[in-house]
A = this chain, B = another copy of it.
């Protein structure tokens, strides 16, 4: 990215010997101009990362495509269906590529995400969080009218009855999975007799169509060390799988058993009874997942970091520190660590307020000056994507497309 900065210095700072228009305006695009240019075709006009506003979200297409392909290959080899979780990316363009690589559809966490995916033509939707309250139920039923293959989860008979009544009132039959709790006490009916009883009760409701079991063990996903993670998931998923088996034994139509995370995709696929994977983060990756350890070592590198924040050095008044324009509003802050600097190498980052971050320069590979562009791996991909309206898709330094994060927004 150095040439453009040098070009700036040439045409900008040394203006005493430069022609009248010293700001090369054609390369300082606002979002409307960039999108107009990109709409004409891929990578048109040579738009590069240097031309982008900052802070911006970058999607590395090479890494992204490799991640999509690797998970698709894994699920094919494991003979499991794949319904990746779109809560990670909230982007229908990504969902299209996941479906294009063989996924059944996508999971979603909110009715808003479901509506956005449906509007973009994505089917096979599984809403993995309970739809409770008038607003969510009403919208879910309307979605079901348009997309009859939509599936929801239930963990309580009161909610099941509400969904049943709403479905019957609208003349639809809503597909549901029983959400069984792997003892995380977040959502889900406890496994065992309570889960089986709920499934039986749901199966009797004529507005609902029982399809299977949803069992997501979030607590396993980030257990460090492959062996430790495997043991954790086996322990906590066992009661869920036993509940599913008990339902099958009773003749209930629970053909779907959905679960697994990016951390357990190659662990849970060996669990007896699983039929599909709802992995999410693998397409983008983040600092958090990199640190859980893989089969081969301390770094979990089955998938490549594909999501970066692009920032600009906006203050440099000290030898050992510089300030960039990306802070608490540019990164997810829910972990006890921040982003990692991918480029240039040798820099460490620390939050310095809502719009600012500090770069520690002691080990920098080169001198850092005003206007330098910095790329950082996001700490936690799901909430990080949620901060942005669009991602710039790059191959090397070239911007090829802009994808809207069309399922974000709390509405």
Contact = CB atoms under 8 A, between A and B. Distances in A.
Contacts of A389: 409-411
A114 interface: no
Interface centre among A137, A185, A218, A317, by most chain B C-beta atoms within 10 angstroms, is A317
Interface stretch (A59-67, A73-81, A127-135, A235-243): A127-135
A24 B134 contact: yes
A220 to B, nearest CB: 13
Contacts of A161: 13
A139 interface: yes
A20 B135 contact: no
Interface in A357-399: 358, 370-371, 373, 380, 382-383, 386-390
A134 B23 contact: yes
Contacts of A358: 185-186
Interface stretch (A48-56, A116-124, A226-234, A300-308): A48-56
Contacts of A356: 129, 186-187
Interface stretch (A95-103, A162-170, A269-277, A291-299): A162-170
Which of A161, A165, A189, A410 has the largest count of B CB atoms less than 10 A from its CB?
Answer: A410
B156 A316 contact: yes
A30 B386 contact: no
A51 to B, nearest CB: 7
A171 to B, nearest CB: 11
Among A56, A159, A190, A323, residue most surrounded by chain B Cβ atoms (within 10 Å): A323
A23 B166 contact: yes
B325 A129 contact: yes
Contact of A141 (B23, B109, B136, B329): B23
A217 B356 CA distance: 14
A87 interface: yes
A313 interface: yes
B133 A312 contact: yes
Contacts of A334: 328, 333, 351
A208 interface: no
A207 B309 CA distance: 33
- Which has the most chain B C-beta neighbours within 10 Å: A27, A189, A334? A334
A314 interface: yes
B314 A187 contact: yes
Interface in A17-71: 20-25, 27-31, 50-57
A22 B162 CA distance: 9
5 contacts: A23-B166, A27-B134, A28-B139, A129-B325, A328-B334
Interface of A: 8, 12-13, 15, 20-25, 27-31, 50-57, 87, 109-110, 112, 129-139, 141, 155-156, 158-159, 161-162, 165-166, 169-170, 181, 185-190, 218, 312-318, 321, 323, 325, 328-330, 332-334, 351-356, 358, 370-371, 373, 380, 382-383, 386-390, 409-411
